[in-house]
Amino acid sequence: MPGYKLAIDGPAGSGKSTISSLIAKKLGWTHIDTGAMYRAVTLQAIELGINLNDEASYRFLETSKIHYDFDRIFINDRDVTEGIRSEGVTNNVSLVSSFPYVRKKLVDLQKMAAEYGNIVMDGRDIGTVVLPHADLKIFLTANVEERAKRRFKELTKKGKETHLSKVIEDILNRDQKDSTRKESPLRIADDAIVLDTTYLTIDEVVNKIIELTDKKEN
């Protein structure tokens, strides 16, 4: 596998995507947000009106094309970067990502996408399943109040009306589903470095991870 592979995992709201995107920009590497891929499948499933509980209905993935262009994500060449952040998608993505068929399809795509070049990939199972031989594995954590506050800020900035207590409830709910599902649950890889970001700024986390990448390279 030529190139440096950096795996960043963590629970909802731990800042993975923002941090991974900034690291990729600073280093000139490619960023792959795997959560966005599960969200894209969820959006397509909702739009197609399939029974979300029926694993066999996800066969539509045999013919759909998901791809990235910088930080934008497309389904069958349609830009869905904003659409995948809707409440309908957020509420159903844990269910959709629990199906082995869906995971197999996306994990295959993710492995292929990471094959060449310097890659920062973020998600829930990158260090454990997708890139078990990554050069560096980071597991980001933060306490639930802090994660909820970050999500709340993001949502209100986008003009979405919500309450902090509702965001906390959603995050706890998603944590529970993501870490107890049978197929590749959220788990810290044995060789991952755990970084608690509760009291760190985004820049501090970005710089710390870049420092760790440098150390691993030398």
The residues that bridge with 32 in the sheet, in sequence order, are: 121
> Is 76 or 173 the residue whose CB approaches ligand DC more closely?
173
Q: What are residue 194's DSSP bridge partners?
A: 139
Cross-strand partners of 33: 122
Q: Are 24 and 124 in contact (CB under 8 A)?
A: no
Nearest-approach distance from CB 13 to ligand DC, in angstroms: 8
Closest CA to 174 of 52, 90, 54: 90
Q: How far is the CB of 176 from ligand DC (least distance, A)?
A: 11
Q: Which residue's CB is nearer to ligand DC, number 15 or number 29? A: 15
Distance of closest approach, residue 129 Cβ to ligand DC, in angstroms: 8
CA–CA separation, 79 and 68 (whole Å):
9
- Based on CB atoms, which residue is closest to ligand DC, 47 or 211? 47
Asked if residue 197 lies in contact with residue 150, where contact means CB atoms within 8 angstroms, the answer is: no
Binding site for ligand DC (CB under 6 A): 12, 34-35, 38-39, 93-94, 97, 123-125, 174, 178
Distance between CA 50 and CA 54 in Å, rounded? 8
Cβ pair 13, 147 in contact under 8 A: yes
Q: Are 19 and 206 in contact (CB under 8 A)?
A: yes
* Closest CB to ligand DC among residues 123, 209: 123
C-alpha 47, offset from chain centre? 21
Cβ 186 to ligand DC, closest distance in Å?
7
Closer to ligand DC at the Cβ: 187 or 208? 187
- Minimum separation from the CB atom of position 87 to ligand DC (A): 13
> CB-wise, 142 or 218, nearer to ligand DC?
142
CB of 204 to ligand DC, least distance (A): 21
What residues are paired with 120 via a beta bridge?
A: 6, 31
